[in-house]
Chain A
């Protein structure tokens, strides 16, 4: 059971790592900055009005 939990945490971390990578890579591919909010500290906006 403990092994399953460790494997689960490891795989979840791998999944998050994978998704973070594709987020960055695909935004970069489009010439956009994935880390925009973290770099500029922008605040809550409209979400697409």
Chain B
């Protein structure tokens, strides 16, 4: 036994390990207990009711059967019909203000913070893992410090998220009590799980954060990483549960046409749009979280007092940006999948979104996406300044800029213009005879895929710009890369043009090979590039911190654009229900059941963005407090022995 301890691990480590297992087990216990309980809940309740009725000698009423509004299955009705509300103080209590605007702010703020604290632990886990498997000790330490820096920011944000969650629930209860009661009648088992998961996530997060120092070596470090996995599982399931409530409102399931609950909460959770939104939100959260952390790093970079700090925060900003962009690339595809499912669910809903009432908001979204990719490329090109040898590739930047700008213009061209009758007459119709051709999906799919492929090309150039390949086949590797990207550009443009020659039901399928062309460049191109860079001769180290100030403002631009776009798309997703609380099941009879003007919506989104960033600055400021103290202490140690020679 003694040998085991000496050979394998120390007693202290073993005890700590056992303690962590017990704590995690205790955290999981409520969940383990609750799952079978939830499954039995309705069955037991029905049996109890039947038994009680038998005792008093009454006849058991015939059970009412309902048909699921989405899945079409039959089920026993276990809830009242969706309430029919009216514009009164009981259904819609109010302050002297538009209740929808209040709920809009509460929901958006909770979502912003929630997204941030769900995303950050995912990449903290990845960075911690990279640090653990990195052989270079100094680099491993750097990664570990970076992961800790990330989680430190999210810990304050986590508390704010919880507070905002409370604010949101109370706002629903106070301003929309009838609707909220209906939702809780359907989702109460899932809501219980949500609360338990929240407790589990909080406990794990705090142990994970405060145990960082105590669990920094050996087996305990792996236990620490395992906790990060648990933390992310809890967080992701939490997000998915909350998503089910929002998507139930769009594409209800588990209820009949009257809105009567049919007793299977899983059907209500697993409604038609649940998984498309889950995927889209998970990716979106990662992009958003990466953007926020990058902005924090940029803020710290700009306020850095010495080169060491500047180098660290430049690197931190780069890693965060890398994560954000890595998830930004598949995000439009997840968006397409979501929209495809929206159309599959209700074609009219898709048309309202992209071809009707809300279509102009998609033009704004297009502008933001274009700006995001332009800025990302700009940041990468600025980042090349850190490396000697990058000048070899700078001559290509002007061509890439040209391609990006042309595609950006195609991407944001609206299908039809807002015009006066005179202008309409002069132009001969709502669609411009030349520019109008770019306002259709054939052109736009081509444009956005070219934009993404060009961004991938920028990444590959960045990856290799301080290295000279030494492999014998380097020349042919370069030719292969040129031909791969050239072939992909030709194919994407060909498919875009081909779309004009075939009917809509065939054309819609072309987006898939276009996406695969782009992804081929990503995977095959990166693989060839990495193989070529094996044993490459470096032209000099990456000089972290030696990057223009402009690049840091580009990061702010990116982070703000992510925030604005998230607010915009959230509004679009929610307002597509039009005058329904729950689409086609529970009507919204409040005085605010109308669609706001684009201008009003834009102002609301801007307000939410501003409010979020102001509060986030507070979080950033809190993050600097501990660090400042350390810096001061360091300076004190250095200056005390030799005060006469220091300034």
Chain A: residues with CB nearer than 8 A to chain B?
4, 7-8, 11-12, 14-16, 18-20, 22-23, 26-27, 29-30, 32-33, 36-37, 42-49
Contacts and interface: CB of A to CB of B under 8 A. Distances in A.
Given A15-B483, A37-B498, A49 B517 contact: no
A14 to B, nearest CB: 7
A44 B488 CA distance: 24
A16 B491 contact: yes
Interface residues of B, number: 36
Interface stretch (B58-66, B366-374, B500-508): B500-508
B523 to A, nearest CB: 13
Interface in B472-495: 475-476, 479-480, 482-484, 486-488, 490-491, 495
B500 A45 contact: yes
A16 to B, nearest CB: 5
B500 A47 contact: yes
A4 B476 CA distance: 8
Contact of B437 (A4, A26, A33, A47): A47
Contact of A46 (B480, B500, B517): B500
Contacts of B507: 47-48
Interface stretch (B250-258, B440-448, B451-459, B546-554): B440-448
Given A36-B502, A37-B501, A11 B479 contact: yes
A4 B517 contact: no
Which of B498, B505, B509, B520 has the largest count of A CB atoms less than 10 A from its CB? B509
Nearest to B492: A19
B275 to A, nearest CB: 19
B512 interface: yes
B223 interface: no
A38 to B, nearest CB: 10
**Among all A-B residue pairs, the 5 with the closest Cβ atoms:** A15-B487, A48-B440, A48-B441, A19-B491, A47-B442
B509 A32 contact: yes
Interface string B496-527: 00111111111101101100110010000000
B280 interface: no
Contact of A48 (B442, B480, B486): B442
A18 B495 contact: no
Given A15-B488, A32-B509, A45-B503, A22 B415 contact: no
26 contacts: A4-B479, A7-B476, A8-B479, A11-B476, A11-B479, A14-B483, A15-B483, A15-B486, A15-B487, A16-B490, A19-B491, A22-B516, A22-B517, A23-B510, A26-B512, A27-B506, A27-B509, A27-B513, A29-B512, A33-B506, A37-B502, A45-B500, A47-B437, A47-B440, A48-B443, A49-B415
A7 to B, nearest CB: 6
A7 B516 CA distance: 25
A44 B509 CA distance: 18
Contacts of A4: 475, 479
B516 A26 contact: yes
A45 B487 contact: no
A23 B503 CA distance: 17
A12 B44 CA distance: 67
A40 B33 CA distance: 62
B499 A47 contact: yes
A36 B495 CA distance: 13
A45 B503 CA distance: 7
A8 B501 contact: no
